[in-house]
């Protein structure tokens, strides 16, 4: 066993003494040691209940003959961190999570590991760590939050963000907002739409690192506890068979993930996280493959914010495996790949079936013939930009309008709330990329304000930052190279005409190349916003969004 290095032989008597100081018996020490990474805390609704998941996982490990060893990890709530300095730390925390899991896993030589994340950066951070440590591992999420209907409206966190914009526009009262506030998030779990957390939990299942139901079983269902026990038992089987993340996370697995991503209409942040996870196993994801896959994969689901369905509806309709079963009907998936179930993708989906054809459309009658995400390129996005195509109104797929340029998220929100943004405008928010932010903040506040004011079918937003999975409308993010690195988005000036053509994959400013070069010759990078502490180090090491914003 790998853990023998910390427990076997006379030389390890001191090590065993330390185990015994914590109450471990000789029998427990002799069994495989399984690290259980619990990101439970009291600040993230998706994590408040993870102690229950951890206890179930540990029960499963013990039932299967292992010894669980639990330790904690951090987790940031993107909703609470939204719209202020806290959001600078959200994406950056992904690397801390991966690094701390690696440190604990390697220092204590666990034979296997179970990772318990739920929300936005914690899921990819733990997947990166699993790939890096490369011992038999299972990921078991805490599950999605429920969405409740209030006066005929299916509410979620995004409903409250958009309600703020509606108040500013005079179309909703403060009392109505307070009613949303009291009912939009009814309990524990990751926020209920196909936002980033649920996108990544579903894609964990597709990658083969999570058990069936990982992405969709609601947090409050007893089935979630049973799944956690199964995860604990299953990791022992993986240890016995020596099935590691490197056996699962290959190029074809990531192609499967991108394929299901398109069918589900996942968050654009998945395009940031999948390359980062792939980087850990030496697989390179070129952004151009996204358009290639999108061109042949139909969009089968319209989950919030793209539609009125929520993850609980996807669960009741057959879940992720039912979506995969539909895609397999046109040979769009690699079915021979091994997963943490110990079975192949094809074996996992053999008995899957769609039970609600409105939530999961058939492969023959999709919502659209192309996928939910598109990559755009052009003179202000040479290395690419990303848009959640499935959440863009038909009339905004092709748009031309004057640039309204802001050098920070705060300045843009102020202009939106003051009514200075008009129909037809293209809002440019720059110096918010991984290096410039630093931390590549999500822009849910400005997109929600635009949507709440009823302008989401008339105003586009473009940024070198990123958008929340809850954002809808013509929200184009991840513009690379970012402004702080001298990307051409830094050359855009107020009033320049911006041309967006999502079907053609184009994003351009109507300014001659010579003029753009002249402007950039005069350009000087602004002083870094943060130079000290973790964010200062992060800004110096982080790479472009087009490469997953990994550190080098």
Q: Which residues are catalytic?
A: 468
Please name the helix (run of DSSP H) or strand (run of DSSP E) that holds residue 378, with its range, or none. Answer: strand 374-378
In Å, how far are 72, 231, 340, 385 from 114, measured between CA atoms? 12, 8, 11, 34
Strands 33-38 and 153-154: unpaired
Cβ-proximal residues to 289 (8 Å cutoff; 6+ apart), any chain: 255, 258
CB 466 within 8 A of CB 441: yes
Distance CA 198, CA 214 (A): 10
Distance CA 71, CA 103 (A): 12
Distance CA 433, CA 439 (A): 7
Distance CA 239, CA 405 (A): 54
Distance CA 31, CA 8 (A): 11
- Give the pair of three-digit tokens for residue 514: 């010579």
Give SS3 for 282: coil
- Give the pair of three-digit tokens for residue 405: 């340029």
Distance CA 156, CA 471 (A): 12
Distance CA 51, CA 49 (A): 6
Buried b (16+ CB within 10 A) or exposed e, 143-168: bbbbbbeeeeebbbbbbbbbbbbbbb
């Amino acid at each position: 066993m790998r853990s023998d290095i910390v427990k076997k032989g006379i030389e390890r008597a001191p090590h065993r003494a330390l185990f015994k100081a914590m109450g471990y018996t000789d029998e427990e020490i002799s069994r495989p040691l399984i690290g259980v990474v619990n990101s439970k805390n009291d600040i993230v609704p998706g994590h408040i209940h993870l102690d229950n998941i951890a206890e179930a996982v540990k029960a499963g490990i013990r039932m299967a003959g292992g010894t669980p060893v639990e330790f904690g990890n951090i987790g940031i709530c993107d909703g609470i961190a939204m719209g202020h300095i806290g959001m600078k730390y959200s994406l950056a925390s992904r690397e801390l999570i991966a690094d701390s899991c690696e440190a604990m896993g390697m220092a204590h030589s666990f034979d296997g590991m179970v990772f318990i994340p739920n929300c936005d950066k914690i899921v990819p951070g733990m997947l990166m760590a699993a790939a890096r440590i490369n011992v038999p591992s299972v990921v078991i999420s805490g599950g999605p939050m429920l969405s409740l209907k209030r006066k005929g409206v299916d509410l979620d966190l995004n409903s409250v963000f958009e309600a703020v914009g509606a108040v500013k526009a005079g179309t909703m009262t403060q009392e109505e907002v307070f009613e949303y506030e009291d009912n939009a998030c009814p309990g524990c779990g990751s926020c209920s739409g196909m936002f980033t957390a649920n996108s990544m939990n579903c894609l964990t299942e597709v990658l083969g690192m999570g058990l069936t139901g990982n992405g969709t079983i609601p947090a409050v269902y007893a089935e979630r506890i049973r799944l956690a026990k199964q995860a604990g038992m299953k990791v022992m089987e993986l240890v016995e068979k020596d099935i590691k993340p490197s056996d699962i996370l290959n190029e074809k697995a990531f192609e499967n993930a991108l394929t299901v991503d398109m069918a589900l209409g996942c968050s654009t942040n998945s395009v940031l996280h999948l390359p980062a996870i792939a980087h850990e196993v030496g697989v390179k994801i070129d952004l151009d493959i996204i358009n290639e896959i999108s061109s042949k994969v139909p969009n089968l689901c319209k989950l919030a914010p793209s539609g009125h369905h929520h993850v609980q509806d996807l669960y009741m309709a057959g879940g992720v495996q039912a979506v995969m079963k539909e895609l397999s009907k046109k040979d769009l998936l690699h079915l021979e790949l091994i997963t943490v179930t110990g079975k192949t993708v094809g074996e996992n989906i053999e008995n899957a079936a769609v039970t609600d054809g409105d939530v999961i459309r058939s492969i023959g009658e999709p919502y659209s013939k192309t996928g939910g995400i598109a990559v755009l390129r052009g003179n202000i996005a040479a290395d690419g930009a990303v848009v959640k195509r499935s959440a863009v109104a038909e009339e905004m797929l092709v748009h031309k309008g004057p640039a309204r340029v802001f050098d920070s998220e705060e300045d843009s929100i102020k202009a939106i709330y003051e009514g200075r943004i008009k129909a037809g405008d293209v809002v440019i928010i720059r110096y918010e990329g991984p290096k410039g932010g630093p931390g590549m903040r999500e822009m849910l506040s400005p997109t929600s304000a635009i949507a709440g004011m009823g302008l989401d079918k008339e105003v586009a937003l473009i940024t070198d930052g990123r958008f929340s999975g809850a954002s809808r409308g013509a929200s184009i993010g991840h513009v690379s190279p970012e402004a702080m690195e001298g990307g051409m988005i830094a050359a855009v000036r107020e009033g320049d005409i911006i041309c967006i053509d999502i079907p053609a994959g184009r994003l351009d400013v109507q300014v001659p190349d010579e003029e753009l070069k002249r402007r950039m010759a005069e350009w000087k990078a602004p002083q870094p916003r943060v130079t000290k502490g973790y964010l200062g180090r992060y800004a110096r090491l982080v790479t472009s969004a087009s490469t997953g914003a990994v550190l080098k």
